[in-house]
Amino acid sequence: MAALLTAGISDYSQTMTTATIDTRADERALIKQAQRADARAFEALYRMHIDRVYGICLRMTGNVSEAEDCAQDAFIQAWNKMDRFRGDSAFSTWLHRIAVNSVLSRIRKAKREQDRITAVSDTGVATVTTGDTGELRDLSEAVDRLPEGARNVFVLHAIYGYSHDETGQMLGIATGTSKAQLHRAKRLMAQQLKQQGFEA
Amino acid sequence: MKDEKLMEAAERLSKEIRPERDLWPEIAATINAPAAKRWSPLFAQAAAVVLLVGASSAVTYMTMKDSMSPTVVASTDMIFEQASFGNRYYLGPGFQDARNTLVADLEIELERLSPETRADIQKNRVLIHDAIAEINLALEKEPENMLLQERLLNTYREELALLRRVSSLTRNVMLRNDI
């Protein structure tokens, strides 16, 4: 697990392998099988990617239940759209894009942002278990308290390593807006962390 | 916390978070459902629309079937009045006679009115005749168009109402003169 935590984004799909599936070639084979409606192959892909997809959903929604729904929705959508995946980008990127869309549309449709804030403030850290400890746990909570726009950019760019262009595309915003939101996120988080006693 | 340190710490945050429960069974239940079921909301909506349109068309047809027949497209020379055909859109010789009588009297009765009133009435008659001609032209292209048929009937009614108003007006003038 430690190796996974220190792994870079670019080689993510290799480090996420299981005992039986350990190369990108395997992933490509699974994708082809899933495109032929092989549910078992798709389950293998699910097992490979669920933790990161769920991570994105949880970091963006800040709510376990919402994150579970978004992750499930993302995989169901991915299954329905498997024939449209042509391999132009990494499968993980394609999947993450679907997950982000799922989160955004859920937030938009249900107008749950206020509920999310309420839920988080009502239930505290126990609602969201990210696995972060110590200083990182405080940082994780600070991320969770960010306003929606700034939080989404921070999650995708700062945590998951997507470029501002990619982040902008995923969120449907301009690259410049992504940069501005990141700046805002950093400023807000610095204020929060300073109040909690963290020094530069 | 400075930007660099913040970003460095952000990179160390957990990217992979295991859900507290296995989400696969619910996903599997959805994706293993029959294809038709998977698309059921779309099909249901489409079916509902078809059903609604079909039902409303059937109801409209049944309702209109008795009330609208027989329908006759009238020329501008023909005339009818509501009292002559009741609730049925039928143009018969009675309407033509009624109109001919009114038109014959019109010229005489108009003479009793002021030039300004005569001009107004003639202007209205021209407008009505133009409308009748235009609707008839349109009906030649779309003889089954219910809206056009309805408009034609209404326009004829307007013409008859105008003629009656003129007759009534001149009779009142005469009565006042008699007094």
Q: How far is A88 from chain B (nearest CA, A)?
A: 23
What letter would DSSP give residue A127? G
Rg of chain B in Å (alpha carbons) = 35
A151 near B CB under 8 A: no
Q: Read off the pTM.
A: 0.54
**By mean pLDDT, which of A7-21, A155-169, A186-200, B105-119 is the weakest?**
A7-21
Q: A116: closest CA among A145, A138, A84? A: A145
Residues 6+ apart with CB under 8 A from A21: A27, A30, A44, A48
Domain spans of chain B? 24-67, 82-178
Instruction: Specify the pLDDT at position A9.
Output: 36
Q: pLDDT > 70: what percent of chain B? A: 65
The pLDDT tens digits for B140-155 are 777 777 777 778 778 8
Helix crossing, A164-171 with A175-195: angle to 10°?
Answer: 100
Residues of A in contact with B41 (CB under 8 A): none
ipTM of this complex prediction, to 2 decimal places: 0.75
Local confidence band at B93 (pLDDT 50, 70, 90 cut-offs): low
Buried b (16+ CB within 10 A) or exposed e, A19-31: eebeeeebbeebb
CATH number of A131-200: 1.10.10.10, 1.10.340.30, 1.10.8.60, 3.10.129.10?
A: 1.10.10.10
Reply yes or no on whether the pLDDT at A105 is more than 80: yes
Q: How far apart are CA A11 and CA A17, in angstroms?
A: 11
Total CB pairs under 8 A between chain A and B: 108
Asked if B20 and A129 come within 8 Å (Cβ–Cβ), the reply is: yes
Helix crossing, B115-141 with B146-178: angle to 10°?
Answer: 160
A135 near B CB under 8 A: yes
Residues 78-97 of chain A whose Cβ lies under 8 A from any Cβ of chain B: 79-80
Asked if B15 and A154 come within 8 Å (Cβ–Cβ), the reply is: no
B7 near A CB under 8 A: yes
Q: pLDDT > 90: what percent of chain A? A: 57
The pLDDT tens digits for A142-152 are 999 999 999 99
A75 near B CB under 8 A: yes
Asked if A129 and B26 come within 8 Å (Cβ–Cβ), the reply is: no
Residues of A in contact with B27 (CB under 8 A): 46, 72, 75-76, 79
Q: How far is A190 from chain B (nearest CA, A)?
A: 6
Domain spans of chain A? 20-129, 131-200
Q: B74: closest CA among B13, B11, B156? A: B156
Asked if B31 and A39 come within 8 Å (Cβ–Cβ), the reply is: yes
Q: What is the CATH number of domain A20-129?
A: 1.10.1740.10
The pLDDT tens digits for B35-66 are 544 455 666 677 777 777 777 777 777 666 65
Higher pLDDT, B147 or A101: A101
Q: How far is B45 from chain A (nearest CA, A)?
A: 19
Reply yes or no on whether the pLDDT at A110 is more than 60: yes
**What amino acid occupies position A133?**
T
Q: What are phi and psi of A183, to 5 degrees?
A: -60, -45
Contact B102, B160 (CB under 8 A): yes
Q: Ramachandran region of residue B138, left (φ > 0), alpha (ψ -120 to 50) or beta?
A: alpha
